[in-house]
Amino acid sequence: MKNVLIVSGHNDLNNSLANTIILENLQNSLPAAEFDFLDKLYPDYEFDVKKEQEKLVKADIIVLQFPIFWYSVPSLMKKWFEDIFIHGFSHGSTGKALAGKTLIASFTTGSPAEAYKHGGMQNYTLDEFLPPLIQLAAISGMNWGGYVHTGGVSYASRNDEAAQKEIKEKSFQHAQRLMEKLTALF
């Protein structure tokens, strides 16, 4: 069994449906994994750099769990990258702490998957938004483990009971798909 670290980058899980359900399911399925709830631990965006680096070093597989905010990771997770993945730790001639680990992205979008295509509402494919994460893995010597995506979990439909039910079901399925990906790596 490999050590798994799940990093939740949602800015505010109190205002989340999809990511909350995905994370709850993962906690049930992976009791031995470490869960890093950035919004709970660091509401002021001031990270304990040493602690965060230690969590990364201990892990064999790192899962980034987040909602897409403006075609990228949320600001909290972006600042976590900036503060934790520093020269001499993750990259640079002496920065080898993450080499050989696997990085997986697990994310949700408001727009449905079909919107992410050339000529579609979002104009680009999902893969075209991912190079910053793929290259973050590469420059840190990590293997890119791919991604799990669920679309159509928009805030717009939150007050509709049937829509909420659908988001819950999709989020459950998302956690199952991520578990399949992880199990293949164990």
Ligand X SMILES: Cc1cc2nc3c(=O)[nH]c(=O)nc-3n(C[C@H](O)[C@H](O)[C@H](O)COP(=O)(O)O)c2cc1C
Site residues for ligand X per CB under 6 A:
10, 16-20, 67-71, 108-111, 153-155
18-35 CB burial, b ≥16 within 10 A, e <16: bbbbbbebbeeebeebeb
Please, what is the minimum distance in Å from the beta carbon of residue 46 to ligand X?
Answer: 21
Nearest-angstrom CA–CA distance, 135 and 141: 10
Please, what is the minimum distance in Å from the beta carbon of residue 18 to ligand X?
Answer: 4
Q: In terms of CB distance, is 69 or 89 closer to ligand X?
A: 69
Q: In terms of CB distance, is 66 or 85 closer to ligand X?
A: 66
Token digits of residue 123: 């104009």
Considering Cα of 65, then 67, then 72, then 75, what sign does the dihedral take? negative
Q: In terms of CB distance, is 72 or 143 closer to ligand X?
A: 72
Please, what is the minimum distance in Å from the beta carbon of residue 8 to ligand X?
Answer: 9
- Identify the DSSP state of 114: G
Please, what is the minimum distance in Å from the beta carbon of residue 126 to ligand X?
Answer: 9
13, exposed or middle or buried, with CB in 10 Å at 0-12, 13-18, 19+? middle
Q: In terms of CB distance, is 18 or 142 closer to ligand X?
A: 18
Q: Write 154-162 long-range contacts (CB < 8 A, 24+).
A: 154/110, 154/111, 155/110, 156/110, 158/17
Q: In terms of CB distance, is 51 or 71 closer to ligand X?
A: 71
Please, what is the minimum distance in Å from the beta carbon of residue 75 to ligand X?
Answer: 9
